[in-house]
Amino acid sequence: MSRTLLSTVNPPHRLLMGPGPINADPRVLRAMSSPLIGQYDPVMTDYMNQTMALYRDVFRTQNEATLLVDGTSRAGIEAALVSLIEPGDRVLVPVFGRFGLLLCEIAERCQAEVIRRDIEWGQVFTPDAIEAMLRETRPKVLALVQGDTSTTMCQPLAEIGALCHQYGALLYTDATASLGGNAFEMDAWEVDIATAGLQKCLAGPSGSSPISISPRAVEVIRQRASIEAGLRGDADAAIAVNHIRSNYFDLGMILDYWGPSRLNHHTEATSMLYGAHECARLLVEEGIEAAVDRHQLHGDAMVQGLKGLGLSLFGDLDHKMNNVVGVYIPDGVPGEAVRQTLLNDYAIEIGTSFGPLHGKIWRIGTMGYNARKDTVLTTLAVLEQVLRQARARVVAGGGVGGANEVYAQGGRG
């Protein structure tokens, strides 16, 4: 293009019913368009403190160390793992989907001794199975995804933190896809570090990663702490021997920036912080339990609607996340062509899938701002038409009918 002046962005309307990102709540976008202020302006540091307090409610924790990592959800994952793991540390990763593989990969790059345990995609691990692994392998860190969008499964975590602590391990969990739409109890479940993103049930854009860190994990991180050379006083120690192998993801430094000492690290991404603040406010205002109930209601409605159309669903439905469902592409139906028709003719996006499920299932999300009755019914109505056009056998009216039965029972919408 060289000198051509392209136009400003002007994205078309889309109803994003895939596994995320989804449409941001307009309140979040409005908050993000607020004017900037300086990073040490008292108003800004107050917003940072408010954000910490709001995310304590979202994560259901008393952890002082609850803040944002500036980057997408995988920035939060890497910050957690690189801040905990020293080269040679043993890390156990039970894998039930693509994002478990990501945890393995990031831990390997931290030079951990990674012990990977796989289960068939579409299943989750029992606490007994995880206890057996802990007993056998005695890891420093158990890294476990809560909700893996690649399979739609939600790993039960309630007993895992206590098991980890019984066997001397720390529990890290990636709650990116699940937080806000499925029960999550940081303190009651004894989770040591949890990370998330805004682009799923939190109804915001990708680009900021909420994180909460238990006092036990803070202690581990503090033993590896450094103060940047440009900020170090004479009394401060030089870089620690077992220093964290990243500056950007050094949670000790990030804590010093968010904490009372306010030691400069990065320049906080102000607009993303405004957005993250509003995402948490939406959830706290609604009530976390009410938000989870809402995701369950609309998730159930989507499930019953898809069944009502005569489609088969993927995986162990007793352990499905509330906010996303995998549905088998009917025999003979061209999966990608159907997705294109949905997008081009109806402006509705549903998801494809990764790895062993690629070409076999679609993934349909009902989360955040889009966990609503109108989005569920519209998607089912449209899907019926598009499937019929693709010569699939569908039950006329079965999608909307199935969903409406759930709404009639649930009495909400």
Residue positions forming the annotated binding site for substrate? 363
Question: Rule CB under 8 A: which of 239-268 touch a second copy?
Answer: 239, 243-249, 264-268
- Cβ pair 151, 313 in contact under 8 A: no
Per the document, the length of the chain is: 413
Could you tell me the two tokens for 30? 């409005």
Q: Which of 332, 331, 327, 323 is nearest to 383 (CA)?
A: 327
Nearest residue (CB) to a second copy, 287 versus 334: 287
Q: Which of 58, 59, 66, 78 binds a second copy (CB under 8 A)?
A: 78
Nearest residue (CB) to a second copy, 2 versus 408: 2
Q: Which of 122, 181, 207, 210 binds a second copy (CB under 8 A)?
A: 207
Q: Where are the alpha helices (DSSP H) in 167-269?
A: 215-222, 251-258
Q: What element of type H or E holds 343?
A: helix 335-346
Question: Rule CB under 8 A: which of 84-103 touch a second copy?
Answer: 98-99, 101-102
**400, exposed or middle or buried, with CB in 10 Å at 0-12, 13-18, 19+?**
buried
The 35-74 contact track toward a second copy, x by CB under 8 A, reads: xxxxx-x-xx--x--x--xx--x------------xxxxx
Q: Which of 257, 328, 346, 354 binds a second copy (CB under 8 A)?
A: 354
Q: Which residue stretch of 75-83, 125-133, 217-225, 295-303 sits at the interface with a second copy (rule: CB under 8 A)?
A: 75-83
User: What minimum distance in Å lies between the beta carbon of 23 and a second copy?
Assistant: 6
Q: Maximum CA pair distance of the chain?
A: 76
Q: Where are the beta strands (DSSP E) in 58-195?
A: 65-69, 90-95, 113-118, 141-145, 147-148, 153-154, 170-174, 193-195
Nearest residue (CB) to a second copy, 70 versus 192: 70
Q: Which of 220, 263, 256 is nearest to 86 (CA)?
A: 220
User: What minimum distance in Å lies between the beta carbon of 21 and a second copy?
Assistant: 6
Question: Under the criterion CB under 8 A, does residue 274 sit at the interface with a second copy?
Answer: yes
Question: Rule CB under 8 A: which of 1-40 touch a second copy?
Answer: 1-3, 5-6, 8-14, 16, 18, 20-24, 27, 29-39
Nearest residue (CB) to a second copy, 200 versus 307: 200
Cα 18 to Cα 86, 279, 293, 297, 350: the distances in Å are 37, 19, 20, 17, 4
Could you tell me the two tokens for 228? 């940047």
Nearest residue (CB) to a second copy, 342 versus 400: 342
- Cβ pair 104, 142 in contact under 8 A: no
Question: Rule CB under 8 A: which of 298-337 touch a second copy?
Answer: none
Q: Which of 146, 152, 199, 404 binds a second copy (CB under 8 A)?
A: 199
> Coil, strand, or helix at residue 326?
strand
Query: How far is the C-alpha of 205 from the C-alpha of 225, rounded, in Å?
Result: 31
Question: Under the criterion CB under 8 A, does residue 272 sit at the interface with a second copy?
Answer: yes
Nearest residue (CB) to a second copy, 38 versus 168: 38
User: What minimum distance in Å lies between the beta carbon of 302 and a second copy?
Assistant: 18
Q: Which of 48, 58, 65, 75 binds a second copy (CB under 8 A)?
A: 75
| β-bridge mates for residue 67, sequence order | 211
In this structure, what DSSP letter does residue 121 have? Answer: B
Question: Under the criterion CB under 8 A, does residue 197 sit at the interface with a second copy?
Answer: yes
User: What minimum distance in Å lies between the beta carbon of 400 and a second copy?
Assistant: 24
Nearest residue (CB) to a second copy, 97 versus 305: 97
Q: Which of 132, 158, 188, 231 binds a second copy (CB under 8 A)?
A: 231
Q: Which of 369, 263, 225 is nearest to 45 (CA)?
A: 263
Radius of gyration of the chain (CA): 22
Q: Which of 61, 63, 66, 150 binds a second copy (CB under 8 A)?
A: 150
Query: How far is the C-alpha of 134 from the C-alpha of 131, rounded, in Å?
Result: 5
Q: Which of 45, 89, 109, 185 binds a second copy (CB under 8 A)?
A: 109
